[in-house]
Every structure is written in structure tokens, then in C-alpha cells.
A and B are shown apart, each in its own frame.
Chain A
């Protein structure tokens, strides 16, 4: 995975990701969408040949900054992965 933050503002962050499965960013986007104060979260595949992925997060900065939303979503996603792995070991 190669990653670069291309826009960084209080209410908006754009991240370019290379060499990664889009489903990973899709998971992050879905978690972001459920966070209070997030107005938009989504990703696109810029071109299927380069597989450059672009993740965009837009928030209402009075409620939460884009940076805080990302941090929160990543922590939550990692928690879910940990629980999921535990459950898979149990079945």
C-alpha cells in the first residue's frame, strides 16, 4: 500500500492510495459515514488500469474535524478487525 494525503483541511481530507484492494477503503468509508458530523465519505477508483484510489472525507467542522473523524474511524475499524479475528478463532 502506498498512501499520500493530497488535501488536508479542517473540514476536508483527500487521500490517494496505490497498490491496495478498494474493499479496504470501502470499509473505512462505511465506518466514516456512520460517524456523527461526517457529511460525506467515499472513495473512487480513478482509473482501473492504475488502480489509483481516492478517499474523500467531508465533515461539519463545528461537530468534528476531518482528521478527528478519520482517527475515530480507523480506531473503530481496527477494533472490529480484532473482534472479528477472535470470533474466527472461536468458530
Chain B
């Protein structure tokens, strides 16, 4: 029966040795680790003011690419939330504001300048040092950001990890699954979520096929 062993691990990546598991299943886990493990990023931006040289949509796109440390135990994808509200509730949205202004000297705005509405939230940019925009004197930006849960298949900004699967050198039957986290979640959590999603999908597949077959 299937056996898993961690052969290498650090805070960003994980190498798991897999034995006695069908190649197709190991590959499904790999694909789910890339495209279906939920993570959090800015999905919507309300621009109140932007007198910078960067157009609204370019600025919004840049901000949306910042990975946020993701609390997927508390937050759910908006489509799965019970609130049904477009604005969202405390289970499907984390609000941030970004206000910056250059006085007499040019400034660079970084991810650390994003201010959460709830100062105690653990959902925050993975690094404080991601540059967002440069502002020349007298330029100003002000916006509200809505951080939501999503998946890589919806948009690549939510892609949880890079994952590869290969044969172990000189040891037939053994495979290595390598998962490198983008930073949203620890690599072990990504593996766990991918397997949970796989199981859920198999349950759904079985239920639907049995239902159609009638019995």
C-alpha cells in the first residue's frame, strides 16, 4: 500500500518520496497543488484617487500579484460563502487600504504600506518589501483593496505552488513529488490540501457516476 516519506524540507519547499501509488494519482495531486489549492490575493480594488503615472488597471494588476499569507481555515471562496453578498462578509473578504503621497521628494510605495482594516489579521503580504509603484512629488494614490480566496485555475495570481513529479534516480517504483510554495501557505499544508481536494473530487465522481447508473 502507498507510502510517503519526506526526504527534504525547508520553509518554502518539500520533497516527498512516494512508493506504491499509481502514477496518475500522484500526477493528479501534483496538478491540484498547482491549480486548486486555495490561497488569498487582492481580487477587487476600489480606486479613490490615482494621480500617479501608472494607469489604474496596471496599478491594480500589480497589486493583485502580491501573494498574501492565507488563512484558509477561516476564509472561504466567495462562491462558497453563505453570505451571498457581492461585497462579502468576515468569512470571505479581508479589507485593506492603501494611501500614499509624495511630498517634495519621490517615494516608492511597498507592500508594507498596505494597511489592514483589522490590525490583528494574519492575512498579510508574504513580504513587506515588494515594490508597488514610484510616486513623483505631489502624486497621490488612495484605494480600497478586497483580498479574497481563489485558486490558480481561476487566475494564476492565486497559484499556490510549483510542483513537479519525477522518478527517483536508480530506485525503480519510487517517485519524488517536489512542491515549492509561492509563499501563501507552508508546503506541507499545500500537500495536505491537494490530497483533501483529490479525495473530495473522487467522492463526488463516485456519487455522480453511481447516481447516474442508478444504484
Interface residues of A (CB under 8 A from B): 1, 3-5, 8, 15, 20-21, 23-24, 26-31, 67, 70-71, 74-75, 77-78, 80-85, 87-91
The residues in B between 25 and 41 inclusive whose CB is less than 8 angstroms from any CB of A are 25, 27-29, 31-32, 35-36
How far does the Cβ of B139 sit from chain A's closest Cβ, in whole Å? Answer: 43
In the bound assembly, the distance between CA atoms of A83 and B3 in angstroms comes to 9
Contact A84 B32 (CB under 8 A): no
User: Would you mind naming 6 contact pairs between A and B with Cβ atoms under 8 Å apart?
Assistant: A5-B212, A21-B35, A27-B24, A70-B213, A85-B199, A90-B4
State whether A89 touches B23 (Cβ < 8 A).
no
Q: Which residues of B contact A90 (CB under 8 A)?
A: 4
Q: Which 5 A-B pairs have the closest CB atoms?
A: A23-B28, A81-B199, A30-B24, A74-B206, A26-B24
Task: Say yes or no: B199 contacts A8, CB within 8 Å.
Answer: no
Question: Is B204 part of the binding interface, using a Cβ–Cβ cutoff of 8 Å?
Answer: yes
By a CB distance below 8 angstroms, the chain A residues around B195 are 81, 84-85, 88
Is the pair B2, A83 in contact by a Cβ cutoff of 8 Å? yes
- Which of B1, B3, B25, B153 lies in contact with A27, CB distance below 8 A? B25
Contact of A30 among B5, B22, B153, B205 (CB under 8 A): B22
User: Chain B interface secondary structure, helix, strand, loop or mixed?
Assistant: helix
Which residues, 3 to 21 on B, are CB-close (under 8 Å) to A? Answer: 3-6, 16, 21
Contact of A78 among B21, B23, B202 (CB under 8 A): B202
- How close is A81's CB to chain B, nearest CB, in angstroms? 4
Given contacts A26-B24, A30-B23, A80-B2, contact A88 B210 (CB under 8 A): no
Distance (Å) between the CB of A50 and the closest chain B CB? 15
Q: In the complex, how many angstroms separate the beta carbon of A28 from the nearest chain B beta carbon?
A: 7
Contact across chains for A3 and B209 when beta carbons are under 8 A apart: yes
Q: Are A91 and B2 in contact (CB under 8 A)?
A: no
A35 to B22 CA separation, bound complex (whole angstroms):
14
How far is the CB of B149 from the nearest CB of chain A, in Å?
A: 19
- The answer on a CB contact under 8 Å between A27 and B28 is yes
A20 to B200, CA, bound (A): 12
Check B201 for interface membership: any CB of A closer than 8 A. yes
Give complex CA distance A29, B213 in Å.
17
* Nearest Cβ on chain A to B19's Cβ, whole angstroms: 10
Chain B contacts for A81, CB-based, 8 A: 195, 198-199, 202-203
Query: Which one, B24, B191, B204, contacts A88 given CB within 8 A?
Result: B191
B208 contacts chain A at the CB level, 8 A cutoff: yes
B83 within 8 A of A: no
B198: contacting residue among A4, A5, A84, CB under 8 A? A84
**Is A77 within 8 A of B1, CB to CB?**
no
